[in-house]
Structure 1
Amino acid sequence: MKRYFTFIMLSLCLIGNAQNINDILRYGTESLQGTARFQGMGGAFGALGGDLSSLNINPAGSAVFNNSLITISATNYHRDNDASYFGRLNNTTVNDLDFNQIGGAFVFKNTNDNSDWKKFTLAFNYDVIDNFDDEFYVSGNSNQGIDNYFLDFAQGVPFGAILRQQGEYIENAYLDIGATQGFGDQQAFLGYYGGIIDPLSPEDSNTDYVSNASYTNVNQQFLRNTTGYNSKFTLNAASQYRDNLYIGASLNFHSIVYDQYDEFTETGYDLGSEIQRTTFDNYLHSEGNGFSFSIGAIAKLNQYVRLGGSYQSPTWYRLTDDFSQRINSDLADEDIGYINFDIVNLFDTYTIKTPAKVTGSLAVVFGKNGLLSFDYGYQDFSQAELRPKNDVNFQSVNDQVSSELSAVSTFRLGGEYRIGMFSLRGGYMFEQSPYANGSTIDDLNGFSTGVGFNFGGSRLDLAINRTEQDVNESLFNTGITTPAMINRVNTNATLSYTINF
């Protein structure tokens, strides 16, 4: 008789497939998002201001506004992934339309002519700083089967420790082992009852395991689908001092929702193999909130040249993960279907601290005809960390972060040329790889273009930006060590409308 219930249990252990170096990079980087004007100029606004998304670079930027305004933006996200795995190439595309920005600024001008403080600005802005909607698919003939994944976890684990008790439901045993013994023992349990591995001997004290699959090469198919977002809500205050200095500060409140669905199928075993087909799927859900602050200044050196500088603090994210799995094979236990996505491992709240970032900026303004702007950003990812730091598993990840990640320099260049009510824009963005080896994730290159229409009391802006980056994506954290090589091309088309008051 089918059992209709859901198990959710707390676990004190680290998930091997969840909290790791990938989380730090996923939540610690910001893609080129924001208003259409901001994107059209490659995000190079640190010395310019005058745009709500420029607050993400330099909070002094709101003091540049001459009047109050509201801006709202919508973006069409297009993802194009070419994934190569053991010489076979597959392409996937994803399209997603969403409102990605809304904000406003309120400018209060000082009517006292004797005061050096010319105006004061209060601003708020909501930006989707990263959209996680994406997908890639790979297939290929590998000499590393999924049995290696389960064997890596099982070797050294007493067989008796992963056996379910008399009369115990299989899903109860799965959750209990994960909660009390850890993720590794739980995966060994799943491999055994999934029919993939067996103990070398049936004694409870046995710690050696063998594969039930026989192969030279196997055909593997893997799909990873991700959804969600990383958003930032900014509360900002800034002021203009005399005619040549703008200063500002912001409080930033971050929100994260991330879902990752992995679907794995393996076939092509030897004709004599007891296993001819294996499926193994994983689902991860993460959500949480974060906080950061930023300070900055913009100085007018003369009527042409402006300098900007800003500091963005580390972001402290407080996150919760839940994780579920399902497995099947020709030799799986008859009750294996009860372990599915309704059987959820809920994990303790943890913290990710992403590194601080400093930005230096230079802009040249040619009166009402146009401008050129350049930003340089520096962020040291080797300083990121998972907390609590006294957790032995987090210590291992933090050691990996400090040894494998490095400082990242970001260069952004943008320009705008005005012809009456029209503005033509272009931009370029380069971001170094966060990995010291420079190959696990390659450098990112991006180009953008845009056009604006100024109607006096309102403005309409359109921008298209394209970024490209090569990434070596691991299918699993252990067992299958050959990564998929993915060329990621993201193309965003953004439309913004601004109303001036």
Structure 2
Amino acid sequence: MFTKTFKIYLILLGISFTYSQTYEDVMRYNSFYHDGSSRLNSMGGAYGALGGDLSSISINPAGSSVFLESEFGISLNYKSQEIINNFNSSLSKSKDDLISFNQLGFVLVFQNRKSKFSFAYNMNRLNDFNDSFSFSGKNNSGIDKYFLHYAKGIPYTDLLVYEDETVQDVYKFLGDNYGFGDQQAFLGYQGYIINEDGEKYNNYSSNAIYNNLNQNVSIYRKGDHFKHSLNFSNSFNNIFILGLNLNFHTLRFEEDKLFKEDGYLSNSLVKSVQFKENLYALGEGISFQLGALIKIKQFRIGLSYTSPTLLSIEEENSQYIETDVSEKDGISKYKIDPNTINFYEDYELSLPSRSVFSLAYVFGSKGLISLDYEITKFNNSKFNDNNGKDSYLNELNYSIKNKLDGISESIRIGGEYRIKNYNFRAGYFYYNGPDSNTVNFRSGLSGGIGFNFGYLNIDLGVTKSSNYIDNRLYTRGLTNPYSVDKNLLNFYTTFNIKL
């Protein structure tokens, strides 16, 4: 018990060993696209130079003063997706469907003969985390690599459960006083996946012997990232418009992950492993946007800037491991369930600024064509590292600076054609992901139709897109890559009522 007591002494000295921040957090919360109303999605999201749509406020805050009348709008989304995973050349397919709430807002318009002032609120979704998939394949690296990585350098006496202790006691103690890494080593040791290496006090070897293992991974995710915008804009002589958004962000993310492994050689002590984890995160944040619109005859020019988004995120997780181990009397099953939820200190993550340059041409009352070009410097993402004094976060920020794109470009193109009270729309979009070392993007085509009933507009839209992401089994030890290729079909319905 001496070592555990010694660690308490270190905590009293003010040294913290618990971190929940990872490179994957940056990837997850940086991945986004402009989602919202049916009209905006039908035109590929190319609305930076147009305005006159509640979701367009999320792109360019000057757009609210394009409205002629006060208006209320709400949007719903039905998503059907097929997910194809490639793991060591083994392909797996999964499907799921979801109906969700996509957008809600209103705009109030106040005008005289020379100017127009607008106040608006709009809630827009920036990211949809909801998906579930499973995949399997052969691998010559096992989960023992994960536990060996974390166990290196830890005295094995810390991983024992003494007579006056329980699994929960030790697991919780290690987390409270020494962090996530020691907890992983404890699970691997108590699950008989790893063992101390002879007389070496802090070295470990694997109890698993294998050539080619069967591995299966099931992941279930849910959650959203919403942006709530308070908008103010003013039009001068219906030629030049300025706008401001004060944005309040809310995000929720939950992931259940189950890893299964078997196919060990006959002389292996370990016969099968099931490792289950749950991660739950809640966050809130702030940002602001500035935007401008200029009308030059039939041309529309739009410029907008989004400040860095400062997020405060709290996380919790739980873990469970089950192993089948060969012993003299046959196969024994070990269930290591700490029955503990780990709560981590809130952390701050700064997401980078964005700039959008937009151009549109309006064909009188018949139609229009629009283009948005967006630039994001993803490598400006940063955890709050206390001005470099926190060595772990300072190292993580260095990794972010070198791995993420310095300049990432996205493009959106859309058009609309009007016949009497019907509006026909089409578009294309391409979003480049944040990681410069892997393939990660989202692209697709869109279309839709709008019905104008005077006081009521009903818009229907559809987008067909693909979203490709490279990922890893785990961030440490067992880091084999796998890909997630999503084929998405989204149907949107928006109701806009003039006030």
Q: Distance in 2 between matches of 1:353 and 1:418?
A: 42
Q: Which residue of 2 aligns with 1:206?
A: 201
1:315-464 alignment to 2 at 5 Å? 315-331=309-325, 337=335, 339-340=337-338, 342-389=339-386, 390-406=389-405, 407-437=407-437, 440-464=438-462
2:476 alignment partner AA: T
Post-superposition Cα deviations, 1:406-445, rounded to whole Å, max 9, x if no partner, equal 12111110100001111110111112232223xx233321
Question: Among residues 121, 131, 136, which one is paired with 2:133 in the alignment?
Answer: 136
Could you list the runs of 5+ residues in structure 1 that have no partner in the other structure?
A: 1-10
Contact 1:193 1:332 in 2 (8 A): no
Q: Which residue of 1 aligns with 2:217?
A: 222
Q: CA deviation at 1:359?
A: 0.7
Q: CA deviation at 1:486?
A: 2.1
Per mean C-alpha deviation after superposition, the further-off stretch among 155-164 and 267-276 is 155-164
Q: Which residue of 2 aligns with 1:173?
A: 170
Contact 1:195 1:332 in 2 (8 A): no
Q: Does 1:153 align with 2:147?
A: no
2:462 alignment partner AA: I
Q: CA deviation at 1:185?
A: 1.6
1:249-260 alignment to 2 at 5 Å? 249-260=244-255
Q: Distance in 1 between matches of 2:345 and 2:463?
A: 39
Question: RMSD value over aligned CA atoms?
Answer: 1.8
Q: Which residue of 2 aligns with 1:305?
A: 299
Per mean C-alpha deviation after superposition, the further-off stretch among 129-138 and 159-168 is 159-168
Q: Distance in 1 between matches of 2:379 and 2:128?
A: 24
Change (3 A) 1:442 1:129: closer
Post-superposition Cα deviations, 1:75-134, rounded to whole Å, max 9, x if no partner, equal 012221100112221101121101111100010112xx4xx4x11111001122211111
Other structure's SS at 2:271 match: coil
1:492 alignment partner AA: N
Could you list the runs of 5+ residues in structure 2 that have no partner in the other structure?
A: 1-14
Q: CA deviation at 1:473?
A: 1.5
Q: Which residue of 2 aligns with 1:263?
A: 258
Change (3 A) 1:433 1:100: closer
Post-superposition Cα deviations, 1:225-266, rounded to whole Å, max 9, x if no partner, equal 110111111110111111201111011111011001110110
Q: Distance in 2 between matches of 1:399 and 1:161?
A: 32
Q: Which residue of 2 aligns with 1:39?
A: 41
Q: CA deviation at 1:470?
A: 2.2
Contact 2:159 2:190 in 1 (8 A): no
Contact 1:196 1:332 in 2 (8 A): no
Q: CA deviation at 1:167?
A: 0.8
Q: Which residue of 2 aligns with 1:4?
A: none
Contact 1:264 1:279 in 2 (8 A): yes
Q: Which residue of 1 aligns with 2:287?
A: 292
1:188 alignment partner AA: A
Q: CA deviation at 1:338?
A: 5.9
Change (3 A) 1:14 1:400: farther
TM-score (norm 2): 0.92
Other structure's SS at 1:25 match: helix
Question: Among residues 73, 83, 86, which one is paired with 2:85 in the alignment?
Answer: 83
Other structure's SS at 1:444 match: strand
Q: Distance in 2 between matches of 1:267 and 1:57?
A: 49
Q: Distance in 2 between matches of 1:12 and 1:410?
A: 40
Change (3 A) 1:39 1:286: same
Contact 2:268 2:326 in 1 (8 A): no
Q: Which residue of 1 aligns with 2:12?
A: none
Q: Which residue of 1 aligns with 2:3?
A: none
Change (3 A) 1:324 1:12: farther
Contact 1:350 1:388 in 2 (8 A): no
Question: Among residues 16, 19, 22, which one is paired with 1:20 in the alignment?
Answer: 22
2:265 alignment partner AA: D
Contact 2:324 2:333 in 1 (8 A): no
1:470 alignment partner AA: Y
Q: Does 1:120 align with 2:117?
A: yes
Other structure's SS at 2:169 match: helix
Contact 1:254 1:290 in 2 (8 A): yes
Q: CA deviation at 1:12?
A: 4.6
Other structure's SS at 1:330 match: strand
Other structure's SS at 1:46 match: coil
Other structure's SS at 1:47 match: coil
Q: CA deviation at 1:14?
A: 4.3
Q: Distance in 2 between matches of 1:346 and 1:332?
A: 35
Q: Distance in 2 between matches of 1:26 and 1:278?
A: 28
1:233 alignment partner AA: H
Q: CA deviation at 1:490?
A: 2.2
Post-superposition Cα deviations, 1:306-336, rounded to whole Å, max 9, x if no partner, equal 1010110111110100011000112499996
Change (3 A) 1:245 1:268: same
Post-superposition Cα deviations, 1:275-310, rounded to whole Å, max 9, x if no partner, equal 1111101110000211111010100012x1010101
Other structure's SS at 1:443 match: strand
Contact 1:170 1:336 in 2 (8 A): no
Q: CA deviation at 1:387?
A: 1.6
Q: Which residue of 1 aligns with 2:478?
A: 480
Post-superposition Cα deviations, 1:381-408, rounded to whole Å, max 9, x if no partner, equal 1110112343322222211110000121
Q: CA deviation at 1:469?
A: 2.7
Other structure's SS at 1:49 match: coil
Contact 1:441 1:469 in 2 (8 A): no
Q: Distance in 1 between matches of 2:333 and 2:349?
A: 38
Change (3 A) 1:305 1:169: same
Change (3 A) 1:336 1:347: farther
Contact 1:31 1:129 in 2 (8 A): yes
Contact 2:36 2:102 in 1 (8 A): yes
Question: Among residues 81, 96, 99, which one is paired with 1:97 in the alignment?
Answer: 99
Aligned length: 478
Q: CA deviation at 1:377?
A: 0.7
Contact 2:123 2:229 in 1 (8 A): yes
2:436 alignment partner AA: A
Q: CA deviation at 1:65?
A: 0.3
Q: Which residue of 1 aligns with 2:109?
A: 107
Q: CA deviation at 1:13?
A: 3.7
Other structure's SS at 2:440 match: coil
Contact 1:434 1:441 in 2 (8 A): no
